[in-house]
Amino acid sequence: MFFTYSMSVILLSFAMYGIWLFLHDTWKWWLEPRLRPVPSCSFLVVVKDLDGEVEGLFRFLALEIESAEIDSDIVVADVSSDYFTAAILEKLANDFDMIKVVVRSAAQQAIIEAIALCRGTVVHVLDLSNRMSPADFMVAVCALLRQDSHELTAHERPEE
C-alpha cells in the first residue's frame, strides 16, 4: 500500500468532491441554459445617412443573429436620410426576411411606427443616427447576443 488508511479516505473524499464540482459545473454550463428558453428579441436600429456602412453593418447583424440561434428580427427606422441609405436598406430587406424598414422624415414618428413592427418580447434600441458609431454598434450587437467581442476583428472593415 502506498498510503495509510486515513490518507486514502482523505484523498477519496477530495476525489468525490472534485467529481461533484465537475458535474455541477457541467450542469450549469451545458444543460441548465438549454432548459430555459431564451426570450425572442427585436433590434430596432435608427439610422441616418450611412450610405457606405449600412450594408456591412446590417449583414453583420443578420449573420450574428443567425449564428446565435435566437428568435430575432431587425427593424430599421431610416430618419430622413439624404443619399442612398433608404435604397440600400430596401435591398437588404429583400435579401433577409428578418429585416423590416421604415422610412420617415420625423424621427419620433419613425420610431413609433417601427416599434409596432417589432415582434420580439425584448426590444433593443440602437441609435446610429446620433449616439452610436458603427464600431460601437458591432460591439453592442456581440454583447447583446452574448458572444465574444474578440470575434469582431474578423468582421470589422479597416478604417480608410
Q: Tell me, what's the pLDDT at 151?
A: 40
Backbone angles phi, psi at 79, to 5 degrees: -105, 95
- Structure letter (DSSP) for residue 27: I
**pLDDT tens, residue by residue, 105-151:** 777 788 888 899 999 888 999 998 888 888 898 888 888 887 543 34
Q: Tell me, what's the pLDDT at 33?
A: 62
Q: Tell me, what's the pLDDT at 118?
A: 92
**pLDDT tens, residue by residue, 11-25:** 999 999 999 999 998
- Give 52 or 94, the one with higher predicted confidence: 94
Hey, which residues does 10 pair with through a beta bridge? none
Q: Tell me, what's the pLDDT at 112?
A: 87
**pLDDT tens, residue by residue, 77-109:** 988 777 788 888 899 899 988 899 988 877 778
Number of neighbouring beta carbons within 10 Å of residue 113? 15
Q: Mean of the per-residue pLDDT values for the chain?
A: 82
Residue spans of beta strands (DSSP E) within 4-157? 41-47, 72-79, 99-104, 122-127
pLDDT higher than threshold 60 for residue 50: yes
Backbone angles phi, psi at 8, to 5 degrees: -65, -40
Distance CA 4, CA 158 (A): 65
CB 142 within 8 A of CB 151: yes
> Mean pLDDT highest for which of 17-21, 54-58, 65-69, 76-80?
17-21
